[in-house]
Amino acid sequence: MGRLDGKVALITGGASGFGATASQIFAREGAKVMVTDKNDKGAAKVAKSIGDAATSMAHDVTREAEWKAVVDATVESFGGVHVLMNNAGVFGSGAPQSIEDISLEEWRFVNDINMDGVFLGCRAVIGAMAKSGGGSIVNISSIAGIRATPDIVAYGASKGAVRQLTKSVAVYCGRKGYKIRCNSIHPGMVRTPLGDDVLKHSWGDADKGAKERLKGIPLGELGTVEDIANAALYFASDESRYVTGAELVIDGGVLYSR
């Protein structure tokens, strides 16, 4: 018996990283999965690797109309929706992100995807999820959403917004009686495409940056995509039925060691 038997999950940013791994793990645990990504070929490849339990769609999370289309297609394909993993995100374009140097264009680019995309997803899925009998929204934030990020101010601010939005959605849905939970995951350093962008921004080279980051991790190793996907699995499953508005830090001890 799978931990997600009978559930339908919608996972954004599913072409790579956390989203791709979560799609595979969720399906292995019995879920039907809608894999979405702006990279539609990548999303289709992940869905194909899963088989009949998954399908995919091209999806720009900043576009309100596309959210409606994706939620409708998920319900049409699998009969409902019980899990939303808001995973799609960016680090930035590579432009400066200190408060003095960042452009308004860069600020809006990062927040449009990381913050507005999560807002649109939460709002779009609530109705369908309530009709499906309830479920779980899992928002991927970052330890950057908890700590100061003076050199990556847009990224940190966007992830901080996800942290706060998660708690507001959790309380709202609880008070409405929707049986929808909402929790956030806060990864530390993991070698995903986004993680490598962070390392390149700080050290110029991802491999060099990874070695430098290791020095500050109490557990002495970087995280893996499986670490994050397994946490999402817990939040998606009924094992976390009494958990909402929570934030789970997965960073090897970095956040609380300074």
Q: The domain spanning residue 168 has which CATH number?
A: 3.40.50.720
> Does 218 reside within a domain?
no
Residue 77, C-beta contacts closer than 8 angstroms, at least 6 positions apart: 32, 34, 55
Domain span holding position 122 = 8-188+224-250
Comparing 54 with 209, the larger pLDDT belongs to 54
Q: How confident is the model at residue 110 (pLDDT cuts 50, 70, 90)?
A: very high
Does residue 209 lie within any of the structural domains? no
Asked if residue 156 has pLDDT above 80, the reply is yes
Within-domain flag for 255: no
Average pLDDT taken over every residue of the chain: 95
The two structure tokens encoding residue 225? 């995509």
CA–CA distance, 53 with 25 (Å, rounded to integer): 12
- Asked whether residue 238 is domain-assigned, the answer is yes
Does residue 199 carry a pLDDT above 90? no
CA distance 173 to 166: 11
In this predicted structure, the answer to whether residue 210 has a pLDDT above a threshold of 80 is: no
* pLDDT number for residue 205: 80
Verify whether residue 242 is a known catalytic residue. Answer: no
The whole-number pLDDT of residue 212 equals: 80
195 pLDDT more than 80: no
For residue 246, the model assigns a pLDDT of: 98
Across 238-244, average pLDDT: 98
CA 151 to chain centre: 22
3-state secondary structure the chain: CCCCCCCEEEECCCCCHHHHHHHHHHHHCCCEEEEEECCHHHHHHHHHHHCCCEEEEECCCCCHHHHHHHHHHHHHHHCCCCEEEECCCCCCCCCCECCCCCCHHHHHHHHHHHHHHHHHHHHHHHHHHHHCCCEEEEEECCHHHCCCCCCEHHHHHHHHHHHHHHHHHHHHHHHHCCCEEEEEEEECCECCHHHHHHHHHHHCCHHHHHHHHHCCCCCCCCECHHHHHHHHHHHHCHHHCCCCCCEEEECCCCCCCC
Residue 19 within a domain: yes
pLDDT band at 211 (very low <50, low <70, confident <90, very high): confident
> Which of the following is catalytic: 155, 172, 234, 256?
155
For residue 146, being part of any structural domain is answered with: yes
Query: What total of structural domains would you count in the chain?
Result: 1
**pTM of the entire predicted model:** 0.94
